Chain A
């Protein structure tokens, strides 16, 4: 089955810096890769996703890149703000009725 690895487990940056979180997946048939942000005591919130037919997607300060050959995808956050501090989870799925397989999460801390 699919296996997703996520790095780093923790990431500390200064406000205004960029943050990059990387994930690798094992099943080359996976075709959908969402990223979720989870704040303390809350449910995960979908922040951006990418499907296998594109290599990059951007939404304001957030971007995701996908390298299907290498089977890895990354989340890029530019001009980080303290409110970006949270745990970020990547996930992968074969699509259709297949379940999401989550990474282990990255705790991002943005210091003022």
Chain B
């Protein structure tokens, strides 16, 4: 399977600071990446769709000014949690879509980033 990495794997920060999470597709180019949030014992909640070279598309209820997404290259998307607060503490997971020549798409996930805001 394809490889998607995330960095950092965990981060602890103080309330009011900003945190940047990187998502990289290591062995394929991804024009589209996704950012999810997952609470304990729950399913994945899509936050936004990140498209290379254009603005991200945010899901309803997700604050775009708080969760800044940049997809500057075909292998890198970043999520910045601005002015983080304890309620932003969560497990953030990215995924990257790999498109085959036959037009079928497969989505591969990163290992996740555990964010704890004190």
Contacts of A42 in B (CB 8 A): 111-112
Q: Are the C-beta atoms of B49 and A99 separated by less than 8 Å? A: yes
Min C-beta distance of A7 to chain B, whole Å: 14
Given contacts A46-B1, A97-B32, A99-B49, contact A34 B109 (CB under 8 A): no
Q: Are the C-beta atoms of B107 and A43 separated by less than 8 Å? A: no
Given contacts A97-B32, A102-B43, contact A44 B109 (CB under 8 A): yes
Task: For A51, give the chain B residue with the smallest CB separation.
Answer: B104
Interface membership of B34, Cβ < 8 A: yes
Which residues of B70-118 are within 8 A (CB) of A?
A: 93, 103-112, 114
Q: Are the C-beta atoms of A89 and B44 separated by less than 8 Å? A: yes
Contacts of B111 in A (CB 8 A): 42-43
Interface membership of B25, Cβ < 8 A: no
Our pick among A41, A43, A49, A100 for the contact of B110 (Cβ within 8 Å) is A43
| C-alpha spacing A46/B44, complex, angstroms | 14
Cβ contacts A40-75/B at 8 Å (1 or 0 each): 011111100101000000000000000000000000
Min C-beta distance of A71 to chain B, whole Å: 19
Q: Are the C-beta atoms of B107 and A41 separated by less than 8 Å? A: no
Contacts of A43 in B (CB 8 A): 4, 6, 93, 109-112
Task: For A99, give the chain B residue with the smallest CB separation.
Answer: B46
Our pick among A32, A36, A51, A103 for the contact of B109 (Cβ within 8 Å) is A36
State the 10 A-B residue pairs at the shortest beta-carbon distance, nearest first: A43-B109, A43-B112, A43-B111, A44-B109, A102-B43, A43-B93, A104-B43, A43-B110, A105-B43, A102-B44
Besides A95-B104, A100-B107, A104-B42, 13 more A-B contacts (Cβ < 8 Å) are: A36-B109, A41-B112, A41-B114, A43-B93, A44-B109, A45-B1, A46-B1, A46-B106, A46-B109, A100-B34, A103-B43, A104-B43, A105-B42
Chain B contact residues, CB within 8 Å of chain A? 1, 4, 6, 32, 34, 42-44, 46, 49, 93, 103-112, 114
